[in-house]
A = this chain, B = another copy of it.
Amino acid sequence: MIKIAVDAMGGDYAPKEQIEGAMFAVEKISDIEITLYGDKEKINTHLREHPRIKVVESQGVIDMGEKDPIRAIRSNRKSSMAMSLTSVRKEENDAIVTSGATQALIAGAHILVGRMKNMKRTAIAPVIPTVKRNMILLDTGGNMEIRPEYMVQQAYFATIYAREVLGIKDPSVGLINVGTEEGKGRELEGEVEKLFFENERINFYGNVEPKDVLNPPADILISDGFTANIVMKTIEGTAKGMGVMLKEELSRGILGKLGLLLSYRNLKRFKKRMDPAEIGGAMIYGLRGVVIKAQGSSKKLGFYNAIRQAAHVVRQDVIGKVSATIEKEEA
């Protein structure tokens, strides 16, 4: 049995959607057991009993807007997020899924789960739906400034993840850059380019300009934690803005309104296709345990997908395989 801790209290729709996602997951996936961490009383108003779901009482939630996430975690060891993280450290659970505050989660994961041996930095890596395939984008939030060598380790992790979890045979890695030619970009890009080219374990595609970001020529797009976060948020902002303009324009005129009506199901499918929650959450790479961050706005299906993803990562022993690769490197 794969044991998954679910932080039932973090996120916009907690605990209802978390619990519904968990109930759906145990129905659909037969080799998992879920422990919900949270306020038992609140949880029990939504939970139907199930032999593979249990509840552990926790106290309090880490606020989304927490100014000092490290302090928040240190002073709330009984919070649902802290307790579920600790359960992974203690090996009571194999993975944790949460839609709680990202910065607190990163801090908490470092303090309570800990980094893998020889792993220099963690990274956050969402999977983004694109025109033809799913793409891994990293690092969307860990490290504002980073050394090129550390990005090599992150590329290993993403490569193994893409192979084992997304089922891509020989995943290619693209470096986010302002041009496709060699030597484009800042000093960082120049150094990373060289390291990636030389490295046999990385199937390096070369530079990728974000004007191909939703139709990328590589399976993995990598940059530092500032840039990749900006890319992720610009995708989000453009999609949102375009959605508003599309809605405004499509509802003009009587024929237009009729057209909109007839296109309703197709537009809904379009929206669903763009929704990253359909794929799961963002994994934090580089920890001793499997930590999946579902979007704060995740609902039942988003949560279910994140749980499914967590189970898959455990099943494929992604962390073990990355550890082995990094150890070879260090030896």
A117 part of interface (Cβ distance < 8 Å) = no
**Does A234 contact B210, Cβ atoms closer than 8 Å?**
yes
**Does A252 contact B266, Cβ atoms closer than 8 Å?**
yes
A143 to chain B, nearest CB (A): 10
**Does A236 contact B211, Cβ atoms closer than 8 Å?**
yes
Interface size on A, residues (CB 8 A): 58
Q: How far is the CA of A87 from the CA of B295 in the complex (A)?
A: 55
A194 part of interface (Cβ distance < 8 Å) = no
Contact mask for chain A residues 156-192; partner B; CB cutoff 8 A; 1 contact, 0 none: 0000000000000000000010100100011100000
Contact mask for chain A residues 254-289; partner B; CB cutoff 8 A; 1 contact, 0 none: 011011111111110110011000000000000000
Q: How far is the CA of A229 from the CA of B255 in the complex (A)?
A: 39
Contacts A250-B263, A259-B259, A262-B262 given; indicate if A240 touches B226 (C-beta within 8 A). no
- Chain B hits for A239, CB < 8 A: 238, 242
Pick the contact of A230 from B187, B230, B260 — CB < 8 Å?
Answer: B230
A residues with a Cβ closer than 8 A to B are 67, 130-131, 141, 144-145, 176, 178, 181, 185-187, 209-215, 226-227, 229-231, 233-242, 244-246, 249-253, 255-256, 258-267, 269-270, 273-274
10 extra interface residue pairs, beta carbon distance < 8 Å, beyond A238-B239, A238-B242: A131-B241, A131-B245, A144-B186, A211-B236, A213-B241, A215-B241, A235-B238, A255-B262, A258-B262, A260-B263
Which 4 pairs of residues, A with B, have the shortest CB-CB distance? A214-B241, A259-B262, A259-B263, A213-B237
Q: List 15 A-B contacts (CB under 8 A).
A: A144-B185, A145-B186, A210-B234, A210-B237, A211-B236, A214-B240, A227-B227, A227-B230, A238-B239, A245-B274, A255-B262, A256-B263, A258-B259, A258-B262, A259-B264
